[in-house]
Amino acid sequence: MTAGVRALLSVLMLIGFYILALVELVAALAFAVWLASVAPAAIAVKLSAPLFIAIVGGVGWAMWQAIRAKNEPMPGVVVTPDQAPQLWAEVRRLAEGVGTRAPDELRIVPEVNAAVSEHAKLLGLIPGRRYLYLGLPLLQAMTVDQMRAVLAHELGHYSGAHTRLGAVAYRGRIAIEGAVSRISSWNVAGWPFRLYARLYLLVDSAASRRQELEADAAAVRLAGKQAAIAALTEVSVVAMAYDFYLGRYVAPGAELGLLPDDVFAGFGDLLAAREEEIAGLRERAAEQEKGSVWDTHPPLPVRIAAINALPEGSPSNDRRRATDLIPYLPQVSGRLHQLAINVNGREVLPWPQFTAATESRRLQGAADDIFREIARRLGRPMVGLAEVLDALAAGRAGELGEAFFSDATRKEAAVKFAQPLEVLLMLAALRSERLSWRSSWTGSSTLVDADGKELDLAPVAELAVHPATLPQARARLLELGIEVAAALAVETTATARGGDVIAGFGNVTFDGIESDLLVLDNGLIAIATKGDKDEGADRMKALVSSVPLTKLAEQHRFLPYEEFHKVTITKQVPIRAVIELHGGRTVELKESWTGDELHKGSRDVLHKVFAQFTGE
């Protein structure tokens, strides 16, 4: 199926959608007239009104979406021909090569993507302003010849019949999806629309896959097979690498209230440092991708096979970095950072300081967890390293170790306590300014001394857990210039930082208050519902998607698992449980029969969480 046929078919099926609505409307009218003739008017109105709401409301919204939907430009840094003449020359040459006009505007965007869009009018029948979007992470990873293949592919979508009615096809998808999303899944009148929508999307997706292969052919013709295949592979590989980069190097600091001064600059450094790993990802990229009849793009193996079957095009073999075509890249990267990154009160630091501050706060957080557990064992509001060493001198290593190694005997726990103790010693060394952080793009950051050597404090910790050798440990710390008093707790109560939502319950009673309950992997958040008993799952999804978990925990009741002493389950379904906290206080949880689950497995997840504290 050609792209032109695809667009025409989309228009015809969009018209068919409205015809289906008209048929249902006529049927509903006939049903209402018949019902009015055999039943009281009030009953007739009550039974037929939902049909009219589903049909008229759903289709009316679809028509409004189709006619009025606005395709706003993606936020990005505008790069003019004067600022990047080589890049613009490539764009214009490739546009001419595929037989279409060049974009009116070029924007560098923060996504791992490249795209061309046109703000057409009258359902796409009247041409409009054309935009080219180039993702900075993609440019950082690609060579010039790979970038040419990407540009030729994207511009190829705007050649000939590809987009004569392409915007209509796009509007058709938006209109139909918009219509069915407005109709309740329980509304029988909406079922034919849902079935029709699935048929439309099935046909449209098949045609879209064909269009992608045609655009790939344009890439081969103008950049060559090797560049076209490499570009396809690179897009999926860079997407994985960028997700890893954000999750490993940026997100931990952001969660701790920190941000680097240029997020995108760091990705370029990671690509250079992990070149061998990324090469391995390229080799496995095609194997990992599987296709579906609902996909708008063919799977990578299919696209590569289709490219190999084409005649060779005009390879350029230009191995320069694609970013070389943007003369003022650091400035562009900095402006994109300001545009795309929400600081939201976080402290912004240059990369070396950002990494050091992030790792310091993570170490402090791990130490705080240990300090709080030890404080509970010792019956104190809070302790520092000095108090921990005093307890060890009193022979309480086994007692403290049991808090972290519940399956060990007291003697075994005493020896194993050296592990959490080492964390506290590392914190003391850092706070005493005897160690500093050495960052790495190929592994984890490490603490090193002034000579750049890693300091192994495990032997000191092993000495400290035994009262007889504790004086040797203290002497060694003094020799190293590590001040025991420097290691103190910062957070005396646990937070939801680092937690993920794993389950949820709407409309439960938690500690006597009607609440929605979010189950995290590090605690429970109870959100008072104020008597609202409807749509609990939707409320929870809306909250989780709009408010950071740490904020939710601060604004509502957060009960960390580390405060749990014992959980007694009095009823399995719906869940009834009594949570006994350290110190003897209890919290009762009551799930209702009419409550909502965040997902179908929520109850099983909560049972597994509680099982850690029931002794089962």
- pLDDT digit string (tens) for 10-26? 667 777 777 877 777 77
Side chain identity at 18, as an amino acid letter?
A: Y
Nearest to 515 by CA among 592, 603, 572: 592
**In the prediction, which pLDDT does 457 show?**
95
Tokens read off for 360: 């310091």
Residue 110's CB is within 10 A of a number of other CB atoms, namely 21
Per DSSP, 282 falls in state: H
Assign 180 a pLDDT band (cuts: 50, 70, 90).
Answer: low
Read off the pLDDT of residues 194-211 as tens digits, 9 standing for 90 and up. 788 788 778 777 777 888
Contacts of 260 (CB under 8 A, 6+ apart): 250, 253, 266, 348, 349, 350, 351, 354
Residue with more model confidence, 2 or 104:
104
Sequential DSSP letters for 48-63? HHHHHIIIIIHHHHHH
CA atoms within 13 A on the CB side of 576: 4
Encoded tokens for 364: 């402090």
Beta strands 105-109; 114-121: pairing state: unpaired
Asked whether the beta carbons of 554 and 568 are under 8 A apart, the reply is: no
How far apart are the C-alpha atoms of 584 and 580, rounded to whole Å?
6
If pLDDT is split at 50, 70 and 90, which confidence band does 161 have?
very low
CB contact at 8 A, 26 and 3: no
Residue 71 has a pLDDT of: 65
Task: Select from 257, 439, 213, 250 the least CA-distant residue to 337.
Answer: 250
CATH code reported for the domain at 501-611: 2.30.29.30
Residue 292's pLDDT band (cuts 50, 70, 90): confident
Contact 230, 149 (CB under 8 A): yes
Flag whether pLDDT at 167 surpasses 60: no
Helix-then-strand count for the chain, H and E = 24, 16
Helices 144-156, 191-223: axis angle to 10 degrees equals 130
Q: SS3 of 259, please? A: strand
Give the separation between CA 50 and CA 53, rounded to whole angstroms. 5
What is the helix (H) or strand (E) element at residue 36, kind and residue range? helix 3-38
Supply the angle between the helices 418-431 and 351-378 in degrees, to the nearest 10.
130
In angstroms, the first-to-last Cα distance of the chain is 60
Q: What is the pLDDT of residues 237-264, one digit of tens each?
A: 999 999 999 999 999 999 899 999 999 9
Residue 348 CB contacts under 8 Å (≥ 6 apart), including other chains: 258, 259, 260, 261
* Residue reference for tokens 């409009």: 128
* 10/240 Cα distance (integer angstroms): 33
| 513: helix, strand or coil | strand
Indicate if the pLDDT at residue 288 is higher than 70.
Answer: no
Buried b / exposed e along 528-552 (16+ C-beta atoms within 10 A):
ebeeeeeebbebbeebbeeeebbeb
Burial (CB count <10 Å: 0-12, 13-18, 19+), residue 207 = buried
Question: Which tokens hold the place of 313?
Answer: 């095009």
* pLDDT more than 70, % of the chain: 85
Please state, in angstroms and as integers, the Cα–Cα distance from residue 127 to each residue in 43, 70, 120, 510, following that order: 51, 14, 5, 58
Contact criterion met (CB below 8 Å) for 10 and 169: yes
pTM: 0.81
Q: 346-355: per-residue pLDDT in tens?
A: 999 999 999 9
CA within 13 Å, CB half, 284: 8
**Can you give the pLDDT at residue 542?**
87
Helix, strand and coil percent figures for the chain, each rounded to 5:
55, 15, 30
Evaluate if residue 430 carries a pLDDT over 70: yes
Task: Find the helix or strand (DSSP H, E) in which 438 lies.
Answer: strand 436-438
Share the mean pLDDT of the chain.
86
Q: What is the pLDDT of residue 151?
A: 94
